[in-house]
Structure 1
């Protein structure tokens, strides 16, 4: 490919030296995939759709859709050595595909604008849990509502954007990679500590039984689409992050092996998250299907009744904060890389500009959950929920479809870049041409509410 290195010197702060080490890349990609949604969404949907039966279905969906699309995004990034827009353009020599790639730059910017708000909540809750302020009253719903109605969410959102920008500004090896090499092992340690604590709670094993007992009668067409959607979104697909990270991957790195490692890391995190949430919920009679409400309103009640509850509660929210920050870093890197490439800015200047713009755009979302903008809705949804819905249910599947069609039908040297044998290449191409596009469209139709099941 003639354009492999054509993007390496775009931007003063964007030199050829910006490359991941092999281990650093895998940990960083896992950090991007591991996010807040897995902690409250995956256990809930697993329990709802058949426990271990759904978990097995999720693994199948990860193999059929998640990993092939992940490999495609990484290959596009390393092949084009640019941001999503420039990589799509270089590999196709088509401005149309460059424009389509640009959508994958807008999406993470919009996601980070509200994701940073929720990440801020986790840091706030970690602080007030360790200090025991959270447990001074037993009305945790009122505690959250009063917090959301104040200006503190904006303050914590700014803190998150500052921390995220600080990491990204330090570059790939000196910032993003070093950050993930410290935090991902730390995340695993916290997961294990909290899992052991949850499994030793009186009544906790009933939650494990509910989580992991296979009930194949609950599997349905809907459960397949839910598993497909979660396999797709839990790997950070469709948001330009894996394309952008792919540009920093060394030639000798096996993208196939890396994809398997990232998928495995995502799977382990989801499993341990379930072994924390369900035993804790069952031990204290909490309904586990409450989404974000489970984390900020229900689980604090469990921690308050637990020996050393403020300590374990603090660890839990630190765990969430780490998961949120590693994802936030990957989200910010996408538009920062684009700004560096387009305007030839240094990394520091591009990061300050992008993080500031994203933070300002996110302030209305921070004030929309009970704050002064709480009464303002778009399509019946508070601003934060509306932006989340548009990104998650419309733009992400659209970007995923663009990737599958590009690799399946447009980019002729995809297999060469992916480094697959002829056997695996034929399977990959079949998936990218005929299976993944159809399934991504079905995910989109289901997520957007166009098709549904009673």
Structure 2
């Protein structure tokens, strides 16, 4: 395609809202509060912030640079940029691996995304009044235990994602993010204010912000790095895919910083929307993934106007899930359109069906296949069902491998001149980013990868 025929972001603001939407996702609202709780609060946040600066920021910059410089999908862009610097064009296969990683994540991510629809529907039709821990477990079992109804919710979420992407960059993704991101921020602020009034905000603040010496361990540091990967999606190539549609004068450094700050702000708002209620209701702040769908309905049931609060929360969660799913979907649609010679609508239809089908094993692991442990003989996840095993394989193994390779590509294949031309930074600033990409980021990612393998 010629450059002037490509769909473009209509403005820098639209592009930034889309990158924030990609970064936020369920990781910032679903995973962030319980990871903070599970790993000791403030100490974890300290490591999380350090990981953002040393790994996520330079890696995201490299992705944005790859996309805008190449004006192509991720595999084609990496291949052409490698060739232009005298390197092997087979670097394009790293882009293929990143897309495969994104598709695996999308397959089970959509299963969690569809639960936000089910719980929002529950808030409207029956509410959460009077629900206790036993009733919360029964509610979750009722939603996930019916494979037909669960698959229908799953289809609805995938269809919503595909329908947005099918409308293109400006009319679909950008238009959706212009609505979803302000709505998400507004809802999270409202929830955080409400939780601060009716919940135990003092204990929540101490728990989340005050570092505790016992939590300052290498393992917690690597867990924090892993959350940064999952939350922002660095290493997947999503930012490169979005940047391929960005104007030449887009300030990539500003986009990177604003995206990371926006994601972090929403993550902290999510923590202050959740943790004060958890402490006020005497619930376990380190309850893990069940915190979102088992503990919070109990909290909502004991609050004034709890049904409205619950509805607001799950609508916000749906907005975050949809915005992030859209970016993962676009990551795979771009090469399908190019290599499959398909229209965007055809590519979205094919990918939507494939995503729904690929999500069925994860979906069925909550009901008919709850006892299945197919990966245990290979990677030793004896205690993990299909959903948990896929999450660990993608988040702890595939994603860091993809991130490692993209960091190496950015630091050792892309030249100093390319960075200088695209970023317009001083020699010292460019040298600092390339230092992080050449040595610091790959080393930290490799340590996280080893931890994932050892804990398998």
Q: Please indicate the TM-score interval, normalised by the length of the shorter structure.
A: over 0.9
Distance 1:391 1:213 in 2: 31
* Residue-pair matches, total: 440
Of 135-144 and 183-192, more deviation after overlay is shown by 135-144
Residue matched to 1:127: 121
Provide Cα deviations, 1:16-54, integer angstroms capped at 9, x if missing partner: 243352001111111111121222432333345453343
Residue matched to 1:39: 29
Distance 2:31 2:103 in 1: 22
Provide Cα deviations, 1:84-131, integer angstroms capped at 9, x if missing partner: 111111101234211122101111112111111110011110110122
Residue matched to 1:12: none
Provide Cα deviations, 1:252-281, integer angstroms capped at 9, x if missing partner: 001111100001001101111111111010
Distance 2:308 2:149 in 1: 23
Change (3 A) 1:53 1:390: closer
Tell me the TM-score normalised to structure 1 length. 0.92
- Choose which of 224, 231, 234 in structure 2 pairs with 1:234: 231
Change (3 A) 1:134 1:75: same
Distance 1:137 1:254 in 2: 49
Contact 2:396 2:452 in 1 (8 A): yes
- Choose which of 439, 448, 452 in structure 1 pairs with 2:453: 448
- Choose which of 395, 403, 406 in structure 2 pairs with 1:392: 395
**What secondary structure, in the 3-state scheme, does the structure 2 residue paired with 1:166 have?**
helix
Task: Please list, as runs of the form range in 1=range in 2, the aligned pairs for 1:310-389 lying within 5 A after superposition.
Answer: 310-369=307-366, 371-378=367-374, 379=376, 380=382, 381-389=384-392
User: Unmatched 5+ residue regions in structure 1?
Assistant: 1-5, 10-14
Change (3 A) 1:202 1:272: closer
Contact 1:255 1:419 in 2 (8 A): no
Cα RMSD of the aligned pairs, angstroms, is 1.8
**What secondary structure, in the 3-state scheme, does the structure 2 residue paired with 1:448 have?**
helix
**What secondary structure, in the 3-state scheme, does the structure 2 residue paired with 1:253 have?**
coil
Distance 1:161 1:48 in 2: 30
Contact 2:101 2:394 in 1 (8 A): yes
Of 147-156 and 174-183, more deviation after overlay is shown by 147-156
Residue matched to 1:434: 439
Contact 2:162 2:352 in 1 (8 A): yes
Residue 155 of structure 1 and its aligned partner are, at CA, apart by 0.5
Residue 133 of structure 1 and its aligned partner are, at CA, apart by 4.8
Residue matched to 2:152: 155
Residue 418 of structure 1 and its aligned partner are, at CA, apart by 3.3
Residue matched to 1:214: 211
Residue matched to 1:422: 427
Contact 1:22 1:253 in 2 (8 A): yes
1:62 aligns with 2:58: no
Contact 1:168 1:333 in 2 (8 A): yes
Task: Please list, as runs of the form range in 1=range in 2, the aligned pairs for 1:9-408 lying within 5 A after superposition.
Answer: 15-93=5-83, 94-135=88-129, 138=132, 139-150=135-146, 151-369=148-366, 371-378=367-374, 379=376, 380=382, 381-408=384-411
**What secondary structure, in the 3-state scheme, does the structure 2 residue paired with 1:291 have?**
coil
Change (3 A) 1:134 1:363: farther
Distance 1:335 1:37 in 2: 20
User: Unmatched 5+ residue regions in structure 2?
Assistant: 377-381
Change (3 A) 1:140 1:81: same
Distance 1:185 1:240 in 2: 24
Contact 1:198 1:279 in 2 (8 A): yes
Greater per-residue helix proportion = 2
Tell me the TM-score normalised to structure 2 length. 0.92
Provide Cα deviations, 1:125-174, integer angstroms capped at 9, x if missing partner: 01101222554753110111122110222111100111001100000011
Contact 1:203 1:279 in 2 (8 A): yes
Provide Cα deviations, 1:388-424, integer angstroms capped at 9, x if missing partner: 2211111100110111111111122441223332111
Contact 1:71 1:418 in 2 (8 A): no
Of 282-291 and 230-239, more deviation after overlay is shown by 230-239
Residue 437 of structure 1 and its aligned partner are, at CA, apart by 0.7
